[in-house]
Amino acid sequence: MEAAARLGVEVVVGSDVRNPLEPLGDGHMLGLDFATPEAGAAEIERFAERHPLDTIVAVDDGGALVAARAARRLELPYNSVASVEATRNKALLRERIESAGIASPEHHVLMTSDDPSAAAAAITYPVVLKPLALSGSKGVIRANDADEFVASFERVRTLLGSPAAVDECGAELADRVLIEGYVSGAEVSVEGVLDAGRLRVLAVFDKPDPLEGPFFEETIYVTPSRLPEDDQRRITEVTEQACAALGLVDGPVHAELRINTEGVFPLDIAARSIGGLCSRTLSFGTGMSLEELLLRHAIGADVPSYERQASAAGVMMIPIPASGTLRAVRGEPQAEAVPLIDSVTISMHIGSDVVPLPEGGEYLGFIFSRGETPDGVEAALREAHNRLSFEIS
């Protein structure tokens, strides 16, 4: 909303009727059915008959399918519905990537009604179990043997049986689980924007904490990447190839990949920008935010610079250490006093129920850092986190 105000763009915010937003500034608010994307798109179409729209931008996974369908109805430039559906269905994404000849682990899909014990004997371990359409690593579990597989499958099945998971996945995807081979190696995140199928890379983030399971809680992102230039070039090429395989041609892209001696493996591709408050780590040219850059692209305005500002930057998504009720947060002033720390933002309110992965998908908050080197930024994030404590009962 701040970026739109700077650009003089009038905004209509489409809010999920199941989890409505608070009113945002002076913009219109439109309640939409995210659980049924075609119904949500019809609401946008009816609104546009009274208030013509020039463009649509999805800012999270939940809104991407609604946005694609609405753009099709209104004949606005956007990614195709089929391409966005492939980003929201991990099994379909895996099939498209494999069909394009891009490195991909072996995979298959089980119904939640299947007997995991029967399937466990035929699996080559380790594997990773994934709900088809949950985000934020919810329900993603590594299993190293048959016993772990059965226990993990039961845990994912229980999660997918919850009303919240059915709402998020859609009933048609909440009854299946993707089983894919575990991919080792360094994991990175690519932030970019597509323009007529050409990928402009805005940042490559290292994820220095090992993400080896059994759960895959992301914590630290640091840019620029410290990987060799050749590896970064290969990562960029594979990201663009994966987008093409899915049919994505326009707008923001957030990609997760792993690189090892066998190649570059796309893990996930999303037709949106980086989530949470993590975009605060990025600024371009003389201080343009990621949101302003993406809005400029969406409305066809000039983008003064796609070059990220030269300093290193990073964010720590503060993990939830235990289930319970958040009673207190201590040490914020001490954490913000760490050299190179920009800010500490606790995004969960005192009294909130907190749930760690794999059932939960939120973070306690975010720590932001800037400095001359990625190593210095990473060290500052870790020291600031060490100075925080959380009372959860």
Residue 117: CB partners within 8 Å, gap ≥ 6?
146, 150
Instruction: Please report whether residue 393 resides in a domain.
Output: yes
Q: What count of Cα atoms within 13 Å lies in the side-chain half-sphere of residue 284? A: 19
How many helices (DSSP H) and strands (DSSP E) are in the chain? 12, 19
Instruction: Please report whether residue 237 resides in a domain.
Output: yes
- pLDDT at 33 (0 to 100): 87
Phi (first) and psi of residue 24, to 5 degrees? -115, 105
Torsion of CA 70, 91, 176, 35, to 10 degrees: -10
Instruction: Please report whether residue 93 resides in a domain.
Output: no
- pLDDT at 27 (0 to 100): 61
Q: Which of 265, 286, 310 is the last residue of a domain?
A: 310
- Report pTM: 0.93
**Is there a single domain that holds both residue 200 and residue 300?**
yes
**Is there a single domain that holds both residue 301 and residue 198?**
yes
Mean residue pLDDT of the chain comes to 94
- pLDDT at 18 (0 to 100): 74
- pLDDT at 166 (0 to 100): 87
* Interatomic CA distance for residues 65 and 33, integer angstroms: 11
Q: Residue type at 391?
A: E
Instruction: Please report whether residue 87 resides in a domain.
Output: no
Residue 31 belongs to domain with CATH number: 3.40.50.20
pLDDT in tens, 124-176: 999 999 999 998 899 999 999 999 999 999 999 999 999 888 888 887 899 99
- pLDDT at 276 (0 to 100): 78
Q: What is the three-class DSSP state of 60?
A: coil
Residue 143 belongs to domain with CATH number: 3.30.1490.20
**Is there a single domain that holds both residue 343 and residue 391?**
yes
- pLDDT at 305 (0 to 100): 93
**Is there a single domain that holds both residue 189 and residue 306?**
yes
**Is there a single domain that holds both residue 351 and residue 376?**
yes
**Is there a single domain that holds both residue 193 and residue 263?**
yes
**Is there a single domain that holds both residue 210 and residue 278?**
yes
Residue ranges, the chain, pLDDT below 50: none
Instruction: Please report whether residue 83 resides in a domain.
Output: no
Instruction: Please report whether residue 320 resides in a domain.
Output: yes
Number of domains in the chain: 4
**Is there a single domain that holds both residue 279 and residue 325?**
no
**Is there a single domain that holds both residue 116 and residue 213?**
no
Do residues 365 and 344 make contact, with C-beta atoms less than 8 angstroms apart?
yes
Q: Which of 310, 331, 347 is the last residue of a domain?
A: 310
- pLDDT at 373 (0 to 100): 97
- pLDDT at 176 (0 to 100): 96
Do residues 189 and 254 make contact, with C-beta atoms less than 8 angstroms apart?
yes
- pLDDT at 117 (0 to 100): 96
What domain range includes position 343? 312-393
**Is there a single domain that holds both residue 337 and residue 382?**
yes
Q: Which of 265, 284, 310 is the last residue of a domain?
A: 310
Helix or strand run (H / E) with residue 64:
helix 61-74
**Is there a single domain that holds both residue 356 and residue 340?**
yes
Instruction: Please report whether residue 89 resides in a domain.
Output: no
Q: What is the three-class DSSP state of 96?
A: helix
Instruction: Please report whether residue 99 resides in a domain.
Output: no
Residue 360 belongs to domain with CATH number: 3.30.470.20
- pLDDT at 169 (0 to 100): 85
Indicate if the alpha-carbon torsion angle 33, 22, 193, 256 is positive or negative: negative
- pLDDT at 50 (0 to 100): 93
**Is there a single domain that holds both residue 303 and residue 316?**
no
